[in-house]
């Protein structure tokens, strides 16, 4: 149901507590594992010859389609980052490896899928992917400050094809060139997306659709172990639930609101474990329980 284009990486992560090397990571991994709790996902990505079978098995166990994960000569994309206590990730090293020449080709068996998730990659590649599909009903896009700064024109071309933009607070201000959130959202809508989801990191998220909006706070978490992948997991929970709930092309505000809450919940699981440790263990009961607690947390 969902085609997810993005990165698969080996991450070396140093938090304020510990350091671990060459863990499975990347936007497509976090996204698809989160989304797989709700919907069928096919990953379109590239890995190197060093990619381990046990990592592939994780996707298979989650019933994620791996036929479009291409293995190329060379090494898997490697990211190394560190987190100062309560701070944003600082990149220490980026080794693109096989990802450097990633030019996603959508196989025929995926071209008619209704939902396309464009993970945070070069906007030119994102555009090429959209063009290869047979008019997907929903195109969802993630991006980052790097592309807004370096390839804004290409990003705007991609944006004209996007239905749902998932973006953080700093990025939406950069992209819209407006510091007021409500005005910024209006400008983004003029670029293409009908639905805008703004991530506030550990502070929750806001959803904008038509003239309506919906805001959710952070879920206080007992202990943040590792923030890596929170944003991708948020997108995965959102799109995964969205795909399972949206019927015959009809979207409702209710579906979008619930999807936002599921995104928030999946992200909260991710940050409670190191890398994918916690996310890989989550089942439907745990999700439903946290959904209920979250509802209690914000109802009055």
The helix (H) or strand (E) run that includes residue 115 is strand 115-118
User: Could you tell me the smallest distance in angstroms from the CB atom of residue 20 to its own copies?
Assistant: 22
Q: Is 258 near its own copies (CB under 8 A)?
A: yes
Query: Of 97 and 260, which CB lies nearer to its own copies in the complex structure?
Result: 260
If the CB atoms of residues 59 and 242 are measured against its own copies, the closer one turns out to be 242
Greatest alpha-carbon span in the chain: 56
Shortest distance in whole angstroms from residue 242 CB to its own copies: 14
Question: Which of 204, 245, 272, 286 is close enough to bind its own copies by CB under 8 A?
Answer: 204
Given CA atoms 105, 160, 193, 176 in this order, what sign does their dihedral have? positive
Question: What is the CB neighbour count within 10 angstroms for residue 87?
Answer: 10
Count of residues touching its own copies (by CB under 8 A) = 30
Q: Looking at 29-37, 68-76, 149-157, 252-260, which segment touches its own copies (CB under 8 A)?
A: 252-260
Decide if residue 203 touches its own copies (CB under 8 A).
Answer: yes
Angle between helical axes of 123-132 and 152-159 (0-180°, round to 10): 30
Contact indicator for 79, 12 with CB cutoff of 8 Å: yes
Q: How far apart are CA 247 and CA 218, in angstroms?
A: 29
Residues 211-250 within binding reach of its own copies (CB under 8 A): 213-220, 222-223
User: Whose Cβ is closer to its own copies: residue 283's or residue 296's?
Assistant: 296
254/289 with CB nearer its own copies: 254
Q: Is 180 in the site for its own copies (CB under 8 A)?
A: yes
E strand or H helix at 159: helix 152-159
User: What is the footprint of its own copies within residues 69-108 (CB under 8 A)?
Assistant: 85-86
Strands, sheet with 2-5, edge to edge from the N-terminal-most edge strand = 69-71, 41-47, 2-5, 115-118, 138-142, 164-168, 195-199, 205-209, 212-216
Nearest approach in angstroms of CB 298 to its own copies is: 6
Q: Which residues bind its own copies (CB under 8 A)?
A: 85-86, 179-182, 200, 203-204, 206, 213-220, 222-223, 254, 257-258, 260-261, 295, 297-300
């Amino acid at each position: 149901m969902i085609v997810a284009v993005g990165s698969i990486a080996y991450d070396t992560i140093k938090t304020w507590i510990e350091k671990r090397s060459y863990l499975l990571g990347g936007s497509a991994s976090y996204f698809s594992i989160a989304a797989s709790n709700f919907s069928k996902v096919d990953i379109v990505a590239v890995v190197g010859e060093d990619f381990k079978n046990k990592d592939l098995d994780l996707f298979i166990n989650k019933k994620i389609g791996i036929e479009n994960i291409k293995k190329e000569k060379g090494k898997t994309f490697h990211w190394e980052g560190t987190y100062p206590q309560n701070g944003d990730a600082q990149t220490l090293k980026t080794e693109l490896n096989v990802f450097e020449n990633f030019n996603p080709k959508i196989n025929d068996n995926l071209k008619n899928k209704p939902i396309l998730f464009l993970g945070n990659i070069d906007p030119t590649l994102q555009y090429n992917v959209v063009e290869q599909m047979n008019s997907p009903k929903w195109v969802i896009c993630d991006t980052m400050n790097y592309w807004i700064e370096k390839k804004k024109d290409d990003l705007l071309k991609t944006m004209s094809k996007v239905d749902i933009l998932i973006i953080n607070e700093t990025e939406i201000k950069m992209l819209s060139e407006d510091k007021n959130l409500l005005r910024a959202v209006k400008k983004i809508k003029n670029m293409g997306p009908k639905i805008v989801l703004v991530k506030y990191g550990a502070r929750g998220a806001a959803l904008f659709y038509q003239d309506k909006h919906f805001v959710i706070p952070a879920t206080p978490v007992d202990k943040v172990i590792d923030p890596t992948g929170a944003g991708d997991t948020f997108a995965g929970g959102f799109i995964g639930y969205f795909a399972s709930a949206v019927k015959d092309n009809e979207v409702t505000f209710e579906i979008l609101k619930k999807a936002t809450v599921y995104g928030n919940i999946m992200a909260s699981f991710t940050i409670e474990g190191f890398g994918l440790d916690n996310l890989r263990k989550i089942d439907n009961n745990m999700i439903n329980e946290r959904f209920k607690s979250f509802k209690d947390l914000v109802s009055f």
